[in-house]
Structure 1
Amino acid sequence: MKWGVLVAMLVLGGCASVTDIEKTLPTLSVISGKKPDVYAQCLVAQLSKTRKAPQIEPHKDGLRIIVPQKLTSNPTAVIDIEERSGGSSIKVFESMSNVPVRPGDIRKAATHCISGE
């Protein structure tokens, strides 16, 4: 029964649009000393290890990165990177933000690129 509920949640999580994902609370909201384009390059490089290439588009005073699911091209996360003095403001929105067993590669990539190593 528990596995059935988990599978149903994962399947339903795949039906979210970018607008739906952005209506959720951010799972990560941080500030980086990197400019939006530098942060985005790092993030795309990290995510390419576990997923298909994300979509990058201009958004407000920075960039928006739309991260696809692992098995389909449907969006699973939206990362807004806005320029601010001395760096960037970063917000990560995930489609399954209330599911504790969601894949952690997006959050790991986002936190890795904050200061950069």
Structure 2
Amino acid sequence: MKWLVVALSLMVGGCASVADLEQTHETLDVMSGKTPREYADCVKHRLEGSREALQEEQRGDGLRLIVPQKLSPNAGPAALVDIDKRGSGSAIKVHERLSNFPLRLGDVREAATACISGN
């Protein structure tokens, strides 16, 4: 029971900034045949029912999606999805808050993985 209380408090509490997430190890580092725009639109579409609106930033030839936390959207980002143009496709890196916590929500990882080649 104590572990459940600790896990819930970690998920709800604690703020991570974009700079903090940039320093974490990637939870996904892959290539896709989709352009950065196609990939970003796919991820945004898959997360629109479970998260507040994602912020999008232009980064050179690519994009960055800033995913808000699910339970407390104003407490900082839950994940960063960096999408860089590579040839005719994209290189994708996902940085997640609590990346080494096994009970973290999996919707960001699932959306990022499903959008690699799927629709």
Tell me the TM-score range normalised by the shorter chain: over 0.9
Q: TM-score, normalised by structure 2?
A: 0.91
1:109 alignment counterpart: 111
The 1-side partners of 2:106 and 2:27 are apart by 11
After superposition, the C-alpha distances for 1:54-92 in whole angstroms (9 at most, x for unaligned) are 000111330000000113232100000000112000000
Instruction: Give unmatched runs, 5+ long, in structure 2.
Output: none
The 1-side partners of 2:77 and 2:15 are apart by 9
The 2-side partners of 1:58 and 1:2 are apart by 40
2:32 alignment counterpart: 32
Q: TM-score, normalised by structure 1?
A: 0.93
Structure 1 residue runs of 4 or more that deviate by more than 6 Å after TM superposition: none
1:90 alignment counterpart: 92
The 2-side partners of 1:39 and 1:27 are apart by 17
2:69 alignment counterpart: 69
The 2-side partners of 1:9 and 1:70 are apart by 13
Letter in 1 for 2:95: F
Once superposed, what is the RMSD of the aligned Cα atoms?
1.2
The 1-side partners of 2:118 and 2:56 are apart by 20
Give the Å deviation of 1:101.
Answer: 0.5
How many residues matched? 116
% same residue? 52
Tell me the secondary structure at the aligned position of residue 95 of structure 2. Answer: strand
1:2 alignment counterpart: 3
